[in-house]
Structure 1
Amino acid sequence: ADVISLVDQEGMYCLAVLFVRQGKILGSRSIFPSKTKYDSHKDILASSLMQFYLEHDIPSEIIINQSISEKRIIQQALMEAQNRQTKIKDRVVSYRAKWLKISVANAEESLKSKLSSKSSISNQLRDLTEALGSKQKLKNLVCFDVSHNMGDKSVAACVRFNEDGFSKKDYRRFNIEGVQPGDDYAAISNAIERHYKRINQEKRNLPDLLIIDGGKGQINSVKKVLQSLSIEDQMIIGIAKGDRRDPKNDRIFIQGHKDPIDMTGRDSAKFLVQSIRDEAHRFAITGHRAKKRKQLLQSDLESIDGIGPSKKKNLLTQFGGIQEVKRASVDDLISVDGINKNLAEKIFNHFNPN
């Protein structure tokens, strides 16, 4: 059975799912569904059920902590979608009632933790707003960073932070081509230009704050790019690493000011900027490593005499990736268009030297 509870507090909702199999609780998960002014409590529970089971198998029994008006319709829709039997129950006793009590407690605790985190984020954003002297509260922040290996295969990353924390669905990576090796100014400018061109094209609102990993030089470079796009009112700050790369010595610069901002007594604001910078750095590095790993693996295949771009494409298309090519037998390899027995043996021996 899946035991599902929906609770709300201060305008936020939490859906807790308790996974019970053969009478044992195997785990749980908390989800925070969004709400519109038209949604009732029961509407949110009903839509959350449908959404959850679009991505998960339905169990034989679904226990919920309140009745929903379209229970039979939803139950039938879930069974037809997955061709399995299930029953939705909102009145239970005995050990099922105990499971439901645990599920409700999990939902309440998760929601309490989420609200506490949101309150902390709100305080950090307020402190940062005050530290930067912004007239409006900063709620929507983006940060850019670049990862490269001596300029080879540079990848820029953009992460977004809002009142709910990091918004990972809005993360973006940019493959940087045509810049001088190690030229971070050009790489970050390239990514900024592409990102803000899209904002203009889609007529979206600018972020409240743009954070750049770097100092005054990077800020000035980015500012020129934005001016070329007729964007004049974007607030920009840069965070530069301090002496010995000690976070305590990080300096924060704001456009139009020569000296770094005095962050004395603004620990929470400084920590927030550092956290966002570090997340952008992590996202950029993982993207760069993945790209370089793919390059190395595919180059390994091309190093085999007789394998060109066309045959490489056929191999990767048929097997789904380089690891599957490495595991393929000679007979498997022969089945690929353009691969004869001689070439198949070369490929097999290349990846299986022993």
Structure 2
Amino acid sequence: SVRRHYQKLMEEAAERLEFERAAELRNRLWALAHVTADQAINPEGVEEADVFAAAQEAGQTCIQVFFIRSGQNWGNRAYFPKADRSLSTAEVLESFIAQFYDDKPVPRLLLLSEPLPSQDLLEEALSSKSERRVEIRVPQRGSKLGVVEHALRNAREALARQLAESSSQRILLEGVAERFGLPRPPRRIEVFDNSHIMGTNAVGAMIVAGPEGFVKSQYRKFNIKSTELTPGDDYAMMREVLTRRFRRLVEKKNGGKNGTKTEPETKVERQVATEEIEATEELSSRITPPEPPPLDERGSSGIPFGVLRAEAVSEPGIEDDETDLPDDDYSPALFDEATEDGERRQEQEEEEFPDRPDLVLIDGGAGQLAVACQVLSELGITGIPVVGVAKGPDRDAGREHFYIPGRDKPFMLEPRDPVLYFIQRLRDEAHRFAIGTHRAKRAKAISANPLDEIPGIGPARKRALLQHFGSAKAVSRAGVADLKEVPGISEQMAQTIYDFFHERRH
């Protein structure tokens, strides 16, 4: 075989004292071993299948999924579903699989690392959904068992990394509480930043972090709406962003029954680019929360889907002018299970991610901090610590000054303090999100055509005008007589176009 051939060549090179050649052949043997090991995830005789392997430790579950299509492995992904700690690995896996295919086609074969409590019912439900037979197996031997074991090793390794990262995150949050005098480690940190160029295309951004890192489903962006703002007034922009964010928090707390009516706000089109997200972040370990079809439309799959206990679904996030990023978390309520003593429900509520921040970080110094404190005071919000984070001299990272209400002077953290690096990561993420949002808005404004704003100009007339004059700028310079020469442009329409550009110019 090829392996034995390389082994013989390596031994012969070593006997001739050609150690460099022997080392090269040894590396080839290692590479060959790696390739042949990876071929185990392309099992013979399996054209289409999804492989699920679940590992559980310290109350957390990792589910590794391999996607096999046309006899080849098309990739894998690790998921960390939020589940009741009392559920077994098999129960979590069963609920996960049922939800996993709500918005995905079901392959003909599912290979699992362990049997499910209601495996026959789930198999019937998935077969009914796909309108063909779907088989669920737990391999006991052969190449199928090899690929499941491979997925299970991946799940255990991913879970170990997740637990290590969570532990480090908890230590950092404890350090944040100590440095800023918080009563306990913050579970929700909100960071605010603005982005604009000379006041144009101004946007505000809010990023959120917690015990498990950045919570991208909670990110929000705010298009600055006020027409009374002086271009480039960062204080006024921050006031608008914070007012809209925390006014919604007050309204949600009061359940909309406070008797006051805020000014109407228009939702903008959700336009976060998925490609930009994938290019700037590591692959997320969660999937979009499922939206199961109504019970009366599920047919025979209604019984297995009932296993999910999905009667309660978490409330949607803040809907303002800001845009939601894709939600990347299962709602803990999907795995809720009622108990008589209520202890399990109480434990779950403690684990749910809060809406109210335990710490607010403002990108800026004493001025931005004063604006934030004034906004919270006007809205009657108390008990939320606010910290201003200002870059040091020459905007040098590592020399940040921290401003806290009640302190006359800012303070600094030790240059090598891990908490300082943590705060820098939060601030940099807020910068990234704000700048990305600003660039998207600016690109949209640049690509906008003024002809689209003229009443009566549809695609056909717009195309005719551009073909005749070459550009919208040339159209704006044309006289009424020139505009009338364009096919489909009447004298009245020509006057409308002329008036639009000249009234705008004046």
Taking structure 2 as the reference length, what is the TM-score of the superposition? 0.60
The one-letter code sitting in structure 1 at the alignment partner of 2:429 is E
Would you say the 8 A contact 1:131–1:266 is kept in 2? no
- Between 1 and 2, higher relative CO (CA 8 Å, sep ≥ 6) is seen in 2
- Report the counterpart of residue 345 of structure 1 in structure 2: 464
CA deviations over 1:42-88 (Å, ceiling 9, x no partner): 22111110222223322221101111122222222223323344211
Residue pair 2:174, 2:184 contacting (<8 A) in 1 also: no
Alignment correspondent of 1:64: 112
Q: Does 1:153 align with 2:153?
A: no
Q: Cα offset for 1:258?
A: 2.2
Rounded to whole Å, the distance in 2 between the matches of 1:242 and 1:115 is 35
Q: Which residue of 1 aligns with 2:168?
A: 120
Amino acid at match of 2:463: A
The whole-number CA distance in structure 1 between the counterparts of 2:455 and 2:379 is 40
Q: Which residue of 2 aligns with 1:253?
A: 403
Q: Percent identity of the aligned residues?
A: 31
Does the 8 A contact of 2:400 with 2:412 survive in 1? no
RMSD: 2.0
**Counterpart-to-counterpart distance in 2, 1:227 and 1:296:** 39
Kindly indicate whether the alpha-carbon contact (under 8 Å) linking 2:62 and 2:79 is maintained by their aligned counterparts in 1.
Answer: yes
Which secondary structure state, in structure 2, belongs to the residue aligned with residue 238 of structure 1? strand
1:216 to 363, 366, 373: 366
Q: Is 1:187 matched up with 2:337?
A: no
Partner of 2:79: 31
- 1:79-158 superposed matches below 5 A: 79-158=127-206
CA offsets, 1:106-140, max 9 Å, x none? 10011111111111111111111111122222221
- Bigger radius of gyration: 2
Cα distance in structure 2, aligned partners of 1:92 and 1:311: 70
Question: Following the alignment from structure 2 to structure 1, what is the Cα–Cα distance between the partners of residues 93 and 455?
Answer: 51
Residue 250 of structure 1: how far off its partner (Å): 1.7
Tell me if structure 2 keeps the 8 A contact 1:16–1:106. Answer: yes
Q: Which range is displaced more, 88-97 or 74-83?
A: 74-83
Q: Could you tell me how far apart the structure 1 residues matched to 2:441 and 2:132 are?
A: 41
The structure with the greater share of residues assigned to strand is 1
Amino acid at match of 1:47: S
Tell me the number of residue pairs that the alignment of Structure 1 and Structure 2 aligns: 320
Return closer, same or farther for 1:15/1:220 CA change in 2, 3 Å cut-off.
Answer: same
TM-score (norm 1): 0.85
Distance 1:68 1:127, change over 3 A: same
Cα distance, 1:275 vs structure 2: 0.8
Moved more, 20-29 or 60-69: 20-29
- The one of 245, 248, 251 equivalent to 1:201 is 251
Q: Is the alpha carbon distance of 1:283 and 1:309 closer, same or farther for their aligned partners in structure 2, counting shifts above 3 Å?
A: farther
Report which stretch shifted further, 250-259 or 147-156: 250-259
Provide Cα deviations, 1:254-276, integer angstroms capped at 9, x if missing partner: 22212222412761111111111
Which secondary structure does the structure 2 equivalent of 1:202 belong to? helix
Distance change in 2, residues 1:149/1:10 (3 Å): same
1:268-283 maps to which residues of 2 (within 5 A)?
268-283=418-433
Distance in 2 (CA, whole Å) between partners of 1:119 and 1:308 is 54
